Amino acid sequence: MLGAAIGDIVGSRFEFANHKSTEFTLFHPHSNYTDDTICTVAVTEWVLKGCQDDLAPILQTWCRRYPNPDGAYGARFSNWIDAEYPAPYGSWGNGSAMRVSAVGWAFDNLPDTLAQAAASAAITHNHPEGIKGAQAVAAVMLWARQGQPKNWIRQAVSSEFGYDLSLSCEQISPDYRFDESCQGTVPQAITAFLEAQDFEHAVRLAVSLGGDSDTLAAITGAMAEAAHPIPQPLREAALAILPRDLAEVLLLAGRVWQGR
């Protein structure tokens, strides 16, 4: 369950200073976890509890515990965090996709995966694109866990979600700019995952695209972990950065779902 957090940490220092290459130091003194990891942990706790509790107060609790993360929370999401009665606000932002990875680990069939991915998104991101982005990421993780070939996954994503995956990372990168939407982040992250030879390569490809680097790499890292083992040095480097309470939730989830 550390894949999303590693991608987030590695991509964090490039969010507003894109690096259009796969050659860079993975962990740097300026590398840190962001709101992406905090929200991922909140959804992970919700899924560990069986998706029976209301996700909204769980997400609010974690975000209030960490009110000023690197990268910061978006303005509308910040208002939602502070609301007494939080309501969805029609977002199509990539926040729904970056926090969904626990769903991709917890369920073993597509209907349940899609349903719970939608539920994790809809408390804030109830726009169809926001829901679709979360569902696509969780579905890719399910298919990767099931051992489906990447060419099969590419075709399934295009068929199920309508994303255009025809461009390679090399073709995407030159003109790709910051895009906080699901529709402008999820297909690119999926492409980086599909082209990757291993976990580290996936994260490096995601960063090399540019754009919203921490979120793009978090989404890619989540999917890559479902297909490739995380090298131990990367695990250790991420755990040295993460606060203990965040790390404990992710490690617990890993023991529960990856040990099945």
Domain ranges of the chain: 3-257
Condensed to tens digits (0 to 9), the pLDDT of residues 73-113 reads 999 999 999 999 999 999 999 999 999 999 999 999 999 99
What mean pLDDT comes out for the span 214-229?
98
The band of 260, judged by pLDDT with boundaries at 50, 70 and 90, is low
> What residues does 154 pair with on adjacent strands?
none
pTM of the entire predicted model: 0.98
| CATH number assigned to the domain covering 3-257 | 1.10.4080.10
Condensed to tens digits (0 to 9), the pLDDT of residues 103-154 reads 999 999 999 999 999 999 999 999 999 999 999 999 999 999 999 999 999 9
Q: What is the pLDDT of residue 104?
A: 98
Condensed to tens digits (0 to 9), the pLDDT of residues 152-188 reads 999 999 999 999 999 999 999 999 999 999 999 999 9
